[in-house]
Amino acid sequence: AKFNAALERAKEAAGGDQERLRAIDEDAIFDEVAGGTKGRRLGLGNIARAERCGVVDPCSSLTQENQQLRETIKSLSQDNEATKAKQIQSDQKLDKLQEYLQTMCAALTQQNINFPPLRILEQVSESSRTTRQQPQQPGPVENSPDKDNNIQDEDLEANDDVAPFS
């Protein structure tokens, strides 16, 4: 009853001015009316007194920590997505290289130039299958060494010191 009467007096003093009505602090009015009744505030209990006495709000530190954790999670998620994209690109490049190597070996075999089984190809295949979420089986070998001209040019440059086959 005392609170409502004090609130009405404050509203009358505002005289209908919207800014002054919004500036009315109901908690301060309640504190004046309640006058030292266990340091309680409207709807907040003893936390309000602790806040007025300079005690840090326990919720604010948790909120800041939660915000920091959200930002960390967001940053790590973006890093994870970027890493996945790089791995997909690397896997695609590896698939092209494997396909080119198989094609080259098949072409050399047709010319009666036999190589022992390529262990590096098997090792790379096994390691790439363990890192991929969905392992892909190598497709049928095409007899087109020009499948990726960039790969062919790089291989030719890397093997310039090898004598040509006759």
Per-residue pLDDT for 164 more than 50? no
Question: Could you report the per-residue pLDDT of 111-158, keeping only the tens digit for each?
Answer: 888 776 666 666 666 666 665 554 444 444 444 444 444 444 444 444
Q: Which two tokens stand for residue 42?
A: 């409207």
Running DSSP on this structure, what letter comes out for residue 87?
A: H
Q: Which two tokens stand for residue 129?
A: 């299958």
Q: Residue written as tokens 């130039």?
A: 113
Question: Could you report the per-residue pLDDT of 81-108, keeping only the tens digit for each?
Answer: 999 999 999 999 999 988 888 888 888 8
Running DSSP on this structure, what letter comes out for residue 42?
A: T
Task: Give, to the nearest 10 degrees, the angle between helix 58-110 and helix 149-158.
Answer: 70
